[in-house]
Amino acid sequence: MSILESLQIAVDGLVANKLRAILTMLGIIIGVAAVIVMLGIGRGAQASIEAQIQSNGTNLLYVRPGSTQSSGVRQAQGSAATLTYADAQALAEPGAAPAVKAVAPEYNAFGQVVYQGTNSNSRVTGVTPEYLDVRILKLASGDFIDAAAVNAKSTVAVLGANVAKTLFGDADPIGQSIRINNVAFRVIGVLASKGGTGFGSLDDQVMAPITTAQARLSGSGQFRGSNNVSTINVQIVDAAQNDAAIQQVTAILEERHHTTGDNNDFSVLSQQDILETAATTTGVFTLFLGAIAGISLLVGGIGIMNIMLVSVTERTREIGLRKAVGARRGDILMQFLVEATVLSVLGGLIGVGIAFGVAHLIGGMSVGSISLNPTIGLDSVLLASLFSIGVGLFFGAYPANRAAGLNPIEALRYE
Amino acid sequence: MLNRVIDIEHATKVYQMGDVEVRALSGVTCHVEQGEFVAITGPSGSGKSTLMNIIGCLDQPTDGAYRLDGVEVGDLNDDELAAIRNEKIGFVFQSFNLLPRVPAWKQVALPLVYAGASDRRERAVAVLEEVGLGERLDHKPAELSGGQQQRVAIARALVTQPSLLLADEPTGNLDSKAGAEVMGIFKRLNRQQGLTVVLVTHDPAVAAQADRTIRIFDGMAYDAADIIPQDSAPGESEAPVMVQVTVAQNGRRS
């Protein structure tokens, strides 16, 4: 008897028991759909997070001060004030680091920003004119801080989109006077919203000339005769030069700080490192979602085994009769295996269809700033389909074997 | 000598039930020639069913020989037995054993599936017409009367053109009219087509319609049509009123 023959018998058997067939398939349908959608959501989130990180510029290095040691205990990274404005200038020196395109030091302070009766606690970042390009920012209105303002320690400020909205509502902030830590600043520009949430969102910060921030806002210390900076943002020529840029920056700073390797009092972090870290995290997250969905597929498989066992018991007489009229052991085995496989494959196909439907439905939704944009890969469809066939074969094998091993005399007598 | 369809010599069947050995058949010898219409009767527990299972190649004797249509059945494996059943035996059961929700012609074509035949529908339709169900090809069992269901089952038994039609209480679940109809079909097949029919029944009225009756009693076969006085019949005291005879041990002519 051919496979095609078995398929015909199996399909006849399933059509004869439609409701039971559908209920059995349901487990597989849900399992397969869940696996595909979960993997899709994971991938979508990964892509969304990566896009967000990349919106800060991929060709970016962050140089941060190292940690201090206090009574032998190493403090947090960035706690030392070892990075200076002079370091930034050294990095920007033409020819010093060929892989470096632009350098933008920043100095962070917190301050209370007040406009008339409204106030907001914001991060105030002292920046240089390069900051705009290096961090890929756009102005919504007005101008950014220019070199003259930096040199003159002008009390001018550029507001992040959220800060502008909080303080001014719909009014135009340009030219208005605000107070930061009781120092009057004139608003000269507002940044376009960049999105992104959480601590460090550029929409929530106020930018002032770095010199002004150092001198007027929190009184930065000095190190080797130059004012401290919090971070030096380094834009590199292109992503391929990432490693070269890290090396060049490290070499220049090591020379300036008279340190080497392990005892460096600064660290260089590239945007690509952050991207990789995020990719690892979301990869684990995707795997986790997929594994949970996989369990539901397994449960679906057990459902198939359950129903197939019931089916074998219920059809004992049928099996006896088939054997009496000449079915061999292999024929019965094949019939039930094919039946289980047809159930799981059909369930798998429907599950794939449903997965696409669900992915389409939740495509527009978002969790926080991360939009759910499930991307269904061919590989996850293949994986789920193959897995469902495997589940059918595996969980169909025991009931099929039991059916094939029935003694025809007892089977025919079964009530 | 005619072609012998069933040739059983000294067949015994012993079941092991835990520690107890149950002797279902203790040396049965019986023969059925081609074209005969034979009834096998006997009280329950007599070994009648065991004999029928052996004749039907659903079971094999523990000891002794069974040749079905010239093929020695004793040393076949399960798959070979399945092939023999498919090719040489048509079964008719008391409870019809039709597949639920399957149209009549497919029921009849079932043995052909396992025979690997290709012209299934034509052959199934032809046999259904022969048993008078040409108009009911696509009816499912639930849409057929008991008598019609049994006729579908008979058609299924005939479709492979077997050497032997083996019926187990075929009228047991039918009213007398449908029962008579079914018996009529058996007789017609036997008389007109020379089909060998073996009928297992405990109903004397049904058995009486056969040409010959083999009685099974305490695991032994007695031929009711060929009575030879016998002194040492086993289970004498419980034997039925009529004079019991064993079938001659050294084989017999019929």
Which residue of chain A has the CA closest to B109? A325
CA–CA distance, B38 with A112 (Å, rounded to integer)? 112
Cα three-residue angle B104-B105-B108, rounded to 5 degrees: 90
Output the six-digit token pair for A270.
């590239």
Q: Of B253 and B175, which is predicted with more confidence?
A: B175
Q: How far is B65 from chain A (nearest CA, A)?
A: 20
Reported as half-sphere exposure (CB side, CA atoms, 13 A), residue A197 has a value of 6
Instruction: Find the closest chain B residue to A12 by CA distance.
Output: B102
User: In angstroms, what is the C-alpha Rg of chain B?
Assistant: 18
| Distance between A324 CA and the closest CA of chain B, angstroms | 6
The token duo for A261 is 């390797």
**A vs B: CB pairs below 8 A:** 62
| Residues B114, A327: C-beta atoms closer than 8 Å | yes
C-beta atoms of B111 and A325 within 8 A: yes
**Quick one: DSSP state of residue B246?**
P
Which chain A residues are closer than 8 Å to B53 by Cβ?
A: 409
Range A321-341 average pLDDT: 91
- Judged against a pLDDT cut of 80, whether residue A218 lies above it is answered with no
The count of other CB atoms within 10 Å of the CB of residue A237 is 16
End-to-end CA distance of chain A: 29
DSSP B211: S
Radius of gyration over every alpha carbon of chain A, rounded to an integer in angstroms:
33
Give A75's pLDDT tier (boundaries 50, 70, 90). low
Q: Is B142 on the interface with A (CB under 8 A)?
A: no
Whether the CB of B86 is below 8 Å from some CB of chain A: the reply is yes
DSSP track, A199-223: TT-GGGEEEEEHHHIIIIIS---EE
8 A C-beta contact, residue A154 and residue A209: yes
Nearest to A122 by CA among A46, A41, A47, A178: A178
Give B14-33 pLDDT, tens digit per residue: 988 888 888 889 889 999 99
Q: Do B99 and A321 touch (CB under 8 A)?
A: yes
Strands A100-115 and A139-142, sheet pairing: unpaired
pLDDT of residue B243: 40
- pLDDT over 90 at A157, yes or no: yes
β pairing state of B164-168 and B196-200 = parallel
CATH number, domain B35-59+77-238: 3.40.50.300
Query: SS3 of A360, please?
Result: helix
Kindly state the average pLDDT of the residues A116-143.
88
Q: Is A16 on the interface with B (CB under 8 A)?
A: yes
**Burial class of residue B146 (count of CB atoms within 10 Å of its CB; 0-12, 13-18, 19+):** middle
Rounded Cα–Cα distance for residues A305 and A391 (Å):
9
Nearest CA in chain A to B53: A409
Measured CA distances, A397 to A28, A30, A305, A336 (Å): 17, 22, 8, 8
Mean pLDDT over the full length of chain B: 85
Q: Which of A11, A12, A325, A331 to mutate to test the interface with B (most CBs of B within 10 A)?
A: A325
pLDDT bin (cut points 50, 70, 90) of residue A237 is confident
For B86-101, write each residue's pLDDT tens digit: 999 999 999 999 988 8
Query: Count of CB atoms within 10 A of residue A281's CB?
Result: 12
User: Is the pLDDT confidence value at A266 over 90?
Assistant: no
**Average pLDDT of the segment spanning B130-136:** 92
Please answer whether residues A238 and A60 qualify as being in contact, where contact means their C-beta atoms are separated by less than 8 angstroms. Answer: no
pLDDT score, position A368: 65
In chain A, residues with a C-beta closer than 8 Å to the C-beta of B101 are: 16
What does the alpha-carbon distance between residue B233 and residue B245 come to, in Å, rounded to a whole number? 7
Which residues in chain A have their CB less than 8 angstroms from residue B110's CB? 322, 325
Of all residues in chain B, what percent are helix, strand and coil, respectively (each to 5)? 35, 25, 40
Domain locations along chain A: 3-53+277-413, 81-264
How high is the pLDDT of residue B210? Answer: 92
Phi, psi of A101 (to 5 degrees): -95, -45
- β-pairing, A231-236 vs A60-65, is antiparallel
Confidence class for position A281, pLDDT limits 50, 70, 90:
confident
Q: Tell me the chain B residues in contact with residue A16 when contact means C-beta distances shorter than 8 Å.
A: 100-102
A324–B58: do the CB atoms touch at under 8 Å?
yes
Q: Nearest-CA neighbor of A319 among A412, A396, A395, A398?
A: A412
The SS3 of residue A237 is coil
Count CB atoms within 10 A of the CB of residue A174: 17
Nearest to residue B65, comparing CAs of B121, B25, B110, B100?
B25
Q: Do B114 and A328 touch (CB under 8 A)?
A: yes
